[in-house]
Amino acid sequence: MMPANPRHVLITGSTSGIGEAAAIAFARGGDTVYVNGRDADRTEAAAERIRAAVGDAGGDIVAVAADIATEDGAEQIFAAISNLDVLVNNAGIYTESAPFEISDDEWRRHFEVNVLSGVRLTRHYAPRMAERAWGRVIFISSECAVTTPPEMIHYGMTKSAQLAVSRGFAIGVAGTGVTVNCVLPGPTRTPGAEEFLAKMYGGIPFEEAEKQYFAEIRPTSLIRRFCLPSEVANLIHYVASEGASATTGAALRVDGGVIATIIP
């Protein structure tokens, strides 16, 4: 049975975009939310924005700055948060490079930030959740796990790896009341996406650039627009609920239909 509020929820990489939107969703539900980023000032600033968005009726917002792509950063998280009810492995990076020009360092960096960070946290917290017979672990993957662009194969590799990792961990906690799932967002209107579009289309208004982008680059999208971070957060929040107790080991899409298959 789901623990009574406030649940304790860690969302990594929650200083902007999908992570920040997810933090707002959980806080509005009365949960205690740990906001995480690498930079202390930026993390506290995000926590303040979330507090302002939620108001006095929401749950507590706690800023926990740590670089979870490192072992030391993970240890800082473990020292600050003894137990979690919900872990959202959202921290991630992406860069663009020609397929044969991606260096060993870039391959390693993407793996350490996007995959190994979530592995470390899940390895620590999921067994503790299992001891209490309830918990939710959610990896934020991407539609690029299934439809990897050639200029982002190092990123796509990490997002595909998250599918395997989450399924394996789900098997590892089978029958305990803990679920482990992947959420696969499609193109989402984050600050990074806005900057990307501005560079691609020379600073024309966002709405016009968005139309061109989906006509030229993502024609399989069925909604013909970017997903909003709040729309992705809605699915994350549901997967963490008691109502999703029979959903585990799954890859759940909130991609606007951009993946041109029914099953990932």
Show which residues are catalytic: 155
What is the rounded end-to-end Cα distance, in angstroms, of the chain? 30
Residue 62 and residue 34 in contact, taking contact as beta carbons nearer than 8 Å: yes
What is the rounded CA–CA span in Å between residue 64 and residue 40?
A: 8
What is the rounded CA–CA span in Å between residue 131 and residue 176?
A: 8
> What secondary structure letter does DSSP report for 147?
S
φ and ψ of 231, to 5 deg = -70, -40
φ and ψ of 80, to 5 deg = -85, -30
What is the rounded CA–CA span in Å between residue 35 and residue 90?
A: 11
What is the rounded CA–CA span in Å between residue 180 and residue 160?
A: 15
Residue 126 and residue 173 in contact, taking contact as beta carbons nearer than 8 Å: yes
Length of the chain: 264
